[in-house]
Amino acid sequence: MRSVKYSGAGPASEVISITDIAIPTPGPGEVVVKVGAAGLNPVDVKIRAAATDFGPIKYSDRPGWDVAGVVATVAPDVSAWSPGDRVFALAAFPAAAHTLAEYAVVAAGDLAAAPDAWTIAQAGAAPLAALTAWQALEAAAVGAGQRVLVLGGAGGVGHLAIQLAKARGAEVTATASAAKHQLLRSWGADHVVDYRDEHALASLTGVDAVIVTVDGTLPPRGTVTEGTAVITITGLSADDSALLAEWGAAPVERILVAASGGQLAEIAALADAGEVEVHLDSEFGLDELVAAQERVESGRVTGKVVVVIDRDA
Ligand SMILES: NC(=O)c1ccc[n+]([C@@H]2O[C@H](COP(=O)([O-])OP(=O)(O)OC[C@H]3O[C@@H](n4cnc5c(N)ncnc54)[C@H](OP(=O)(O)O)[C@@H]3O)[C@@H](O)[C@H]2O)c1
């Protein structure tokens, strides 16, 4: 089968190649998926550039974590899945996985049935970003009637955080550049703010929870009131954490997404109920992985970038 391989640290154009290797067989508790599509995330390009582990996030020279496709073979001890099932997963994260290939081994517990409402490209694009958004909203205990601010509402995580927060009944404010505001509204955002408009940012008022998806960005002062939950999926300096505490925020929680077939099944149910869609920024073939990774590296992605390996899977 064709499988992506990195030759070491460096730019996408220098280290990415496609090699031919044997189709894998499933070990105990595992399933082999014929890959239809595999999403790309900023972590894919950061870890490729450095070719090293990032703390618990494991580097592999055969990369890829997101996957959607059709079950090809199952280990004898797996009863939950059968050949032909249409599935999607965040495989193994933060341990290494190898989904940028024609076939991928996935632990049975990481899989969920792919939503009928989504194309295989959408299902392959979603898992890491959707689970991150889901787990951030869980960490903030977002519920009906709460006011939520999503900093970075147009990216992979942000556009799903808006929709999943709306599905929980929250009132959502989100930031994005002005050209993307109409899209944010189509995903359900009640209020949209241009992150380059300091006056508009300064006029925002207190919220119950802030989901930070943009590196080096703090919630505007007025949005933080006593007990505001601040969940970040990016880095935050000790000084920034101290400042937020001074403003009255609850202790900032930094989360790292974890694979979960159970949570993906809940997201799939919302997708099939018409409450969550995946906006595809762009689709690439396996042979176009360099361009696909460069698109992610641009930082301008709207929704998700996906690599489509077999559209008929
Ligand atoms: N901790 C975890 O488990 C975890 C999980 C997933 C992702 N992450 C990290 O979270 C970050 C976001 O991931 P992602 O996949 O959502 O990224 P992404 O899809 O690449 O985000 C791109 C979007 O960010 C917007 N943006 C850039 N600067 C902004 C600003 N100052 N304010 C508001 N929006 C801004 C861009 O909009 P414009 O083009 O309009 O500027 C673009 O639409 C990355 O650093 C990623 O590594 C962490």
Reported as a single tens digit per residue, the pLDDT across 154-199 is: 999 999 999 999 999 999 999 999 999 999 999 999 999 999 999 9
Taken in order 252, 66, 114, 75, is the CA torsion positive or negative? negative
Q: Packing angle between helix 42-50 and helix 289-297, nearest 10 degrees?
A: 100
Task: Indicate if the pLDDT at residue 220 is higher than 90.
Answer: yes
Start-end of CATH 3.40.50.720 domains in the chain: 130-254
Q: Which H helix or E strand runs over 112?
A: strand 111-113
Is there an atom of ligand 1 within 6 Å of 163 CB? no
- Integer-rounded Cα Rg, in Å, for the chain is 19
In the DSSP assignment, the letter for residue 7 is -
Q: Which H helix or E strand runs over 135?
A: helix 127-139
Helix (H, G, I), strand (E, B) or coil at 29: coil
State the average pLDDT over residues 89-117. 98
The closest residue, in CA terms, to atom 4 on ligand 1 is 233
Q: Which atom of ligand 1 is nearest to the CA of 179?
A: 40
Is there an atom of ligand 1 within 6 Å of 41 CB? yes
Query: Which residue out of 40, 66, 90, 214 has the highest number of ligand 1 atoms within 8 Å of its CB and is therefore the one to mutate?
Result: 214
Measured CA to CA in angstroms, residue 247 lies from 52, 211, 223 at distances of 37, 17, 10
Is there an atom of ligand 1 within 6 Å of 293 CB? no
Start-end of CATH 3.90.180.10 domains in the chain: 2-126+278-308
pLDDT at 65: 98
State both tokens at 256: 């790292």
Is there an atom of ligand 1 within 6 Å of 257 CB? yes
The closest residue, in CA terms, to atom 11 on ligand 1 is 213
How far does CA 109 lie from the centroid of its chain? 18
Listed in sequence order, the residues at least 6 apart from 142 whose beta carbon sits closer than 8 Å to its beta carbon are 148, 165, 168, 170, 208, 209
How far does CA 82 lie from the centroid of its chain? 26
State the average pLDDT over residues 121-140. 98
Q: What's the N-to-C CA distance of the chain in angstroms? A: 15
Cα separation, 292 vs 283, in Å, equals 8
Q: Which class is 130-254 in CATH?
A: alpha beta
Ligand 1 centre from 300 Cα, in Å?
8
Q: How confident is the model at residue 235 (pLDDT cuts 50, 70, 90)?
A: confident
Q: Which class is 2-126+278-308 in CATH?
A: alpha beta
Query: Which residue out of 44, 211, 301, 304 has the highest number of ligand 1 atoms within 8 Å of its CB and is therefore the one to mutate?
Result: 301
pLDDT at 2: 98
Task: Indicate if the pLDDT at residue 250 is higher than 90.
Answer: yes
Measured CA to CA in angstroms, residue 175 lies from 35, 106, 154, 187, 219 at distances of 34, 35, 8, 13, 11
Task: Indicate if the pLDDT at residue 51 is higher than 90.
Answer: yes
Is there an atom of ligand 1 within 6 Å of 57 CB? no
pLDDT at 180: 98
The closest residue, in CA terms, to atom 14 on ligand 1 is 156
Q: Which atom of ligand 1 is nearest to the CA of 217?
A: 31
For 251-297, the pLDDT digits (tens) are 999 999 999 999 999 999 999 999 999 999 999 999 999 999 999 99
